[in-house]
Chain A
Amino acid sequence: MSAAYKPNEIMTIAAARALRNEDVCFVGIGMPSAASNVARLTHAPGITLIYESGTVATKPTVLPLSIGDGELCDTALTTVSVPEMFRYWLQGGRITVGFLGGAQIDKYANLNTTVVGPYDKPKVRLPGGGGAPEIANSCGEIFIIMAQGKRGFVGKLDFVTSLGHGEGGKHREKLGVKTKGPTRLVTDLCIFEPDPETKEMTVVSIHPGVTREQIQDNTGWQVRYANKVAETAPPTAQELDVLRELHARTARAHGEAAQKE
């Protein structure tokens, strides 16, 4: 039974389930893109997917490698310029959910995608913020998807690229931010939601077969649990089919392009 799906499959599917049919979702590349499209192809056919390249209401049949593959533009309702995307659509408050990943996260769901080690003498220079610093504050709420491990789930970030709940409590409000920030963090082990008071990311659901010990071993802070912790429903056959077919179509599309050369 537990061999029927892989940890990254339940992660993607559990993240997809959080999206609603009426959402307008600003989609990051990689796992957020896979989860958003699974949602669109299963329970949320009416969802509006927006990529920062300017493509509005796009319906890709294969997952893009980059944020601006032609597939996104070909299947979009309309495509706007990048300044318009960031000014009217994101800053203008038209997006209900921003869907992000990251390299490092802390217990208040602040994200680092900039640098490991000191900024001026980096141990590892990561790509940087891209759209994330403003996505994090301009979307109604934020979902985060990240595989769990001690390198990524750290006690203290080397750099805050995008704001989560800051130092917790009412920190966002104090900074003048009116949106909710991260309301859900889905990993390959469990699902976190912020505590209503402290805003610390708290485990509310554990994927089948995963232990609390495993979760702690893969987290760089003392993990807290909600009073009631659910077991994540395993992926349905339909969800798995949709996800696997999407990945297979994507691999074929990218592979075919490679063979042409």
Chain B
Amino acid sequence: MSRVLSLAEAVESVVRDGDTVSMEGFTHLIPHAAGHEVIRQGRKHLTLIRMTPDLIYDQMIGMGCADRLVFSWGGNPGVGSLHRLRDAIENGWPHKLEIEEHSHAAMANAYEAGAAGLPCAVFRGYIGTDLPKVNPKIKSITCPYTGEKLATVPAHRPDAAVIHALKADREGNVLLEGILGVQKEAVLAAKRSLVTVEEVVDDFGPRSLNACILPSWTVSAIAVVPGGAFPSYAQGYYTRFNAFYKEWDGISRERDSFLAWMKENVLGKTPDVFAAHVRALRIAAE
């Protein structure tokens, strides 16, 4: 059963030094507040899995939390590079970062295989690309029925999955709506999971009969962090703060400006700042 904890307690109990961690959210619902808490607690030697490292991993990599990154698209969406990720790969700053690079299809399939309790994912992929030459985990398998050669990658089985969702109810069930990404798969594939939510409600109320719900017994810890996805967004609560994604390009370009920003906005702050960040972006209740 999930336990409702403060974000600091939740991160402390779910994310440990040396863990393989998936902090997912496909553009939508990226758990930024949890990322900041991992940085504040000084987690080290993490293997970070995420389809799109985005600003959340750019920050964690720049602050030295990660030894390894497993990913499929490492840019700042619509803006350009993730400068901290590039500095780590190109120059080994703040230390060397090992990478394991995939395609989106492979990552999505690997999460699904992890959730399904399978050792590997099988799909039609990677044909004619150079990725298998640089990633020895990409292998192939022959279909025993048709003889077709298919790609295979190991299932993702993270120690910890961290996601942001819209709401939890009093029993600790969790509701997601909108762009769902791979969060359900990441949580079900992981040994431990932490879900930050916008709010806790008595009852989810009217909803689709097929709503995406993670039952309480699939989640280890819940922390209530309004605005916790900022500058990503939460469908129906606040919009994506595209301007900050653009601003990050300048902040993160140089090591000094990056470190100054982290000190000012993360190290010396608490999760409460996220509610203030999204105040202006809140979608007015209809």
Contact = CB atoms under 8 A, between A and B. Distances in A.
Interface of A: 29-30, 52-55, 64-70, 72-73, 79-83, 85-87, 90-91, 110, 114, 119-120, 122, 124-134, 136-138, 159-163, 166, 171-172, 175-177, 254, 257-258, 260-261
Interface stretch (B3-11, B38-46, B71-79, B193-201): B71-79
Contacts of A83: 108-109, 111-112, 182, 185
B129 A163 contact: yes
A67 B77 contact: yes
Nearest to B78: A65
- Interface bracket on B: 35 or more
A260 B245 contact: no
Interface string B67-103: 0000111110111011001100110000000000111
A161 B73 CA distance: 11
Contacts of A166: 128
B118 interface: no
Contact of A129 (B129, B148, B245): B129
B180 interface: yes
Given A30-B78, A91-B123, A161-B130, A65 B245 contact: yes
B131 A161 contact: yes
Interface string B171-182: 000000011111
A254 B89 contact: no
Contact of B104 (A30, A52, A69, A73): A52
A55 B52 CA distance: 17
A37 to B, nearest CB: 14
Interface stretch (B12-20, B159-167, B234-242, B254-262): B234-242
A55 B240 CA distance: 16
A254 B281 CA distance: 12
B128 A177 contact: yes
Nearest to B133: A119
Contact of B129 (A53, A54, A66, A162): A162
B103 A53 contact: no
Nearest to A250: B242
A80 B179 CA distance: 7
Contacts of A129: 72-73, 101-104, 129, 131
A53 B28 contact: yes
A82 B28 CA distance: 12
A176 B243 contact: no
A68 B131 contact: no
B76 to A, nearest CB: 8
Nearest to A122: B90
A255 B242 CA distance: 9
Interface string B104-128: 1100110110000000000111111
A71 B67 CA distance: 35
Given A83-B109, A257-B242, A70 B28 contact: yes
Given A66-B77, A81-B182, A261-B241, A86 B148 contact: no
Given A68-B27, A87-B108, A134-B105, A254 B128 contact: no
B77 A91 contact: no
B78 A66 contact: yes
Nearest to A164: B128
A87 B89 CA distance: 31
